[in-house]
Amino acid sequence: MKVLVLGAGAREHAIAKRLHDEGARVVGAPGNAGMGQCGEIRDVDLKNVASMVDLSKKEEVELVVVGPEAPLALGVADALREQSIAVFGPTQRAAQLESSKAFAKEFMKRHRVPTAPFCVFTQPEEAEAYVRQADRPLVIKADGLAAGKGVVVADDTAQALEAIDQLMRKRAFGDAGQSVVVEERLVGPEVSFHVISDGESFLPLAPAQDHKRALDGDRGPNTGGMGAYSPPPMVTQEIEQFILSQVVEPTIRGMASEGTPLSGALFVGLMLTDAGPRVLEYNVRFGDPECEVMLARLDNPLLPLLLAAAQGRLDATSVSYRAPAAMCVVLASEGYPGPYETGVPIRGLDSAAKLDGTEVFHAGTRREQAECVTAGGRVLAVTSVGENVDAAGERAYQAVEHIEFQGKSFRRDIGWQARTRQHSSKLARSEP
């Protein structure tokens, strides 16, 4: 079977590698150096639906797997389905769960999915008036896609007002700030919960936790994600059951009942508060680097799962695991998430990949003659499995030592919450 994987990150390399290992012929677009080792690389414009459809037709692929959110928000899945090409990823309307935070919050309210209390504003004056009279800490969120930069967790009223000015008046993220969600600030550890769905049934994957901040101790600016591990110990069986029954189930059912069934991946970002789990946001694709650790643990062949989800005939109800735990450590360019250099030669990839239980997925890399060089902020995602999170981490950090490039930056504390077990695991008794 010939499969097109759209995207250029470590998430897409992990998917492409797995499908290749399972015998699929993989085309990666626009891809990276790693994806080039498990298939053909083609050029494509991820901002242009016609470009993605044309490529799919030209390559005569039987399945398209959409990695990132932007093409889904543009409606690439709708356009592919119109051409009778199977696609793993939701329609444009279903993708609103991610592309509009206001839509997601109103949806949660309609379906009683536990989330922080909120208001939506389209006028800056009204948002400001609300913030001034509020007597509790708030979070200001741009409605639209803002590459993970449209959320301000405000420490005080001044910061909240500044955020409204930036998003709504100065339009720091363009139309994404046409409306904003203002919601109550919650406290607790964050976890990522994914399911694969065909629009009606769903298949839960292993819970994971990522690390968004650039520096150790969860300090520094937000990034695309500096590492992840699975399973996070704070997600007890009880909490997982709560998430499945109170969040995932009503979400999948609610989307179907509103005539916008969500097929593909549903990624729920949750905060485990003292009052129980609360949804921070939905994404409609796999998280990166969560995808890397989830796939490392997953025993089921991936291709049949993705295909069944794409074709509306998912019948498996649970997955099996080949590893009890996994950890992914992201190696970034010096300066990321700010400006950084590219074209820096990378050494030691082969010796790192030879280590037991370890795979090195490429993010921002490209081939330059015989050399692999850096081509992005996040460069590599070093992923290892183990008997537990500590063992997986030990392997991953060993592999990190094998890889060298000038300016190699990474966090040394991925999985710290699993080691110190500083977590609250209380469950809501009844209503959110």
Ligand X SMILES: Nc1ncnc2c1ncn2[C@@H]1O[C@H](COP(=O)(O)OP(=O)(O)O)[C@@H](O)[C@H]1O
Nearer Cβ to ligand X (185/408): 185
Work out what residue 217 binds among Mg ion, ligand X, none; the CB cut-off runs from 5 to 8 Å by kind: none
**Which residue stretch of 74-82, 182-190, 298-306, 396-404 sits at the interface with ligand X (rule: CB under 6 A)?**
182-190
Tell me what percent of the chain is helix, strand and coil, each rounded to the nearest 5: 30, 30, 40
Nearest approach, Cβ of 337 to ligand X (angstroms)?
A: 13
* One residue of 12, 69, 78, 183 binding ligand X per CB under 6 A: 183
Closest by alpha carbon to 266, among 219, 212, 199?
A: 199
Nearest approach, Cβ of 420 to ligand X (angstroms)?
A: 19
* One residue of 48, 132, 148, 221 binding ligand X per CB under 6 A: 148
Q: What is the rounded CA–CA span in Å between residue 27 and residue 1?
A: 11
Q: Which residues of 66-88 are buried (b: 16+ CB within 10 A; e: fewer)?
A: bbbbbbbbbebbbbbbeeebbbb
Q: Which residues of 258-270 are buried (b: 16+ CB within 10 A; e: fewer)?
A: eebbbbbbbbbbb
Query: What residues between 278 and 337 interact with ligand X by CB under 6 A?
Result: 280-281
Nearer Cβ to Mg ion (97/373): 97
In total, the chain counts a number of residues equal to 432
Nearest approach, Cβ of 137 to ligand X (angstroms)?
A: 8
Nearer Cβ to ligand X (54/184): 184
Letter for the amino acid at 264? Answer: G
Nearest approach, Cβ of 273 to ligand X (angstroms)?
A: 9
Work out what residue 11 binds among ligand X, Mg ion, none; the CB cut-off runs from 5 to 8 Å by kind: none
Nearest approach, Cβ of 308 to ligand X (angstroms)?
A: 28
The pattern of x and - marking residues 197 through 236 that bind ligand X according to CB under 6 A reads ---------------x------------------------
Counting contacts by CB under 6 A, is residue 153 touching ligand X? Answer: yes
Closest by alpha carbon to 252, among 319, 191, 192, 196?
A: 196
Query: What residues between 335 and 354 interact with ligand X by CB under 6 A?
Result: none
Letter for the amino acid at 291? Answer: C
Binding residues for Mg ion, rule: CB under 5 A, are: 269, 281
Nearer Cβ to Mg ion (56/192): 192
Nearer Cβ to ligand X (391/428): 428
- Cβ pair 94, 254 in contact under 8 A: no
Place of tokens 């063992």: 391
Q: Which residue pairs, CB below 8 angstroms and at least 24 apart, start in 298-301?
A: 298/205, 298/206, 298/322, 301/22
Nearer Cβ to ligand X (279/372): 279
Nearer Cβ to ligand X (141/395): 141
Nearest approach, Cβ of 416 to ligand X (angstroms)?
A: 16
* One residue of 27, 70, 116, 167 binding ligand X per CB under 6 A: 116
Exposed, middle or buried by CB within 10 Å (0-12, 13-18, 19+), for 24?
buried
Closest by alpha carbon to 134, among 154, 105, 151, 115?
A: 154
* One residue of 139, 310, 323, 346 binding ligand X per CB under 6 A: 139
Place of tokens 């060089």: 373
Question: What's the token pair of residue 230?
Answer: 């699975």
Q: What is the rounded CA–CA span in Å between residue 138 and residue 160?
A: 7
Nearer Cβ to Mg ion (198/281): 281
Binding positions for ligand X, rule: CB under 6 A:
116, 139, 141, 148, 150-151, 153, 183, 185-186, 190, 212, 269, 280-281
